[in-house]
């Protein structure tokens, strides 16, 4: 595809690697991050630093954002110095943050007033998927914008799908997070059981990771647990945010999700224990502590 002038906002655990892929593909990228130091390596690779999201938008036909919380999304896109304030007609805004479906719709409606198209395109695959360019990307919003951005999505991910109108990408990501939440309970309980039974945990994963119990979580995060690696591929504090959004949406739909509610409470316990900045596999520490207390 033609080399484009692109915008990128958010250079955290995943955003940094995703942006690198676009730079390495030959695109000129204008970037903004709340903390400039976290974008220095991207600038060294050729990205152009901007002082505000609006400045990013003024230099870019397509602007991507991946930040922390819905409030951050609203600020960087709809704020007084946000992306929308600097965009021109026929531009595209792509928010890849896991955020609220209703906010995706709000952004879409505001953008239409300026003849700007939007996509909500949250991702799954963690830090490893971001580094490898193998993310799953779930997209809602303007179909013509999706077709235009798809070649760029393919630089960052492998499993890419258009799901429907604004908010559909976020709803799909909620389904993803609901599944992961309960799966992580199974992962940590399975490994704790194997540990207390005196088994070699890597050998256990070798077997159960290829059978009916196979999941991305056991094969990737399970290995990190065995190594004692609780660094964040995805922060616990952000996962709690995601589960909260899913529970709010479920309440709005008059839908009961007791499994999600239970997993949410376990992760709240992780925060109470000071683990909010660990990766989601840090749930293992919560269960480990519960069992240590029971034995003492």
Q: State pTM to two decimals.
A: 0.93
Amino acid 289: pLDDT: 92
Kindly report the length of the chain. 296
Rounded Cα distance, 12 and 8, in Å = 11
Q: What is the DSSP letter of 296?
A: -
pLDDT of 294 > 60? The answer is no
pLDDT in tens, 250-292: 999 999 999 999 999 999 999 999 999 999 999 999 999 988 7
Secondary element (H or E) of residue 227:
helix 222-227
Q: Which fold would CATH assign to domain 5-165?
A: Rossmann fold (3.40.50)
CATH classification code of 171-295: 1.10.1040.10
Q: Given CA atoms 208, 137, 96, 251 in this order, what sign does their dihedral have? A: negative
Please tell me which residue in 58, 173, 210, 237 is annotated as part of the active site.
173
Contact 196, 231 (CB under 8 A): no
Residues of the chain with CATH 1.10.1040.10: 171-295
What is the chain's mean pLDDT, rounded? 95
Residues of the chain with CATH 3.40.50.720: 5-165
Look up 173 and say whether it is catalytic. yes
Please, which residues have CB within 8 angstroms of residue 89's CB and are 6 or more apart in sequence? 114, 115, 116
pLDDT in tens, 223-240: 999 999 999 989 999 999
């Amino acid at each position: 595809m033609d080399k484009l002038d692109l915008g990128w906002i958010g250079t955290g655990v995943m955003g940094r690697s995703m942006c690198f892929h676009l730079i390495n593909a030959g695109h000129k990228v204008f970037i903004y991050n709340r903390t400039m130091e976290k974008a220095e390596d991207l600038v060294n690779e050729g990205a152009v630093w901007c002082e505000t999201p609006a400045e990013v938008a003024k230099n870019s036909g397509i602007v991507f954002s991946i930040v922390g919380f819905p409030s951050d999304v609203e600020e960087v896109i709809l704020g007084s110095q946000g992306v929308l304030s600097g965009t021109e007609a026929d531009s595209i805004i792509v928010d890849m943050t896991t955020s609220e479906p209703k906010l995706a719709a709000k952004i879409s409606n505001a953008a239409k007033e300026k003849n700007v198209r939007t996509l909500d395109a949250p991702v799954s695959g963690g830090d490893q998927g971001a580094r490898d360019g193998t993310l799953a990307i779930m997209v809602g919003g303007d179909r013509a914008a999706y077709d235009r951005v798809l070649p760029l999505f393919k630089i960052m991910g492998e499993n890419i799908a258009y799901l429907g109108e604004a908010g559909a990408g976020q709803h799909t990501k909620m389904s993803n997070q609901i599944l992961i939440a309960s799966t992580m309970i199974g992962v940590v309980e399975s490994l704790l059981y194997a540990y207390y039974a005196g088994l070699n945990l890597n050998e256990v994963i070798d077997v159960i990771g290829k059978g009916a119990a196979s999941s991305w979580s056991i094969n990737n995060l399970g290995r990190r647990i065995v190594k004692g690696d609780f660094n964040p591929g995805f922060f616990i504090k952000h996962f709690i945010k995601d589960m909260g959004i899913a529970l709010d949406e479920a309440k709005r739909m008059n839908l009961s999700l007791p499994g999600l509610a239970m997993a949410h409470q376990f992760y709240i316990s992780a925060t109470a224990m000071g683990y909010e900045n660990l990766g989601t596999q840090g749930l293992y520490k919560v269960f480990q502590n519960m069992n240590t207390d029971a034995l003492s």
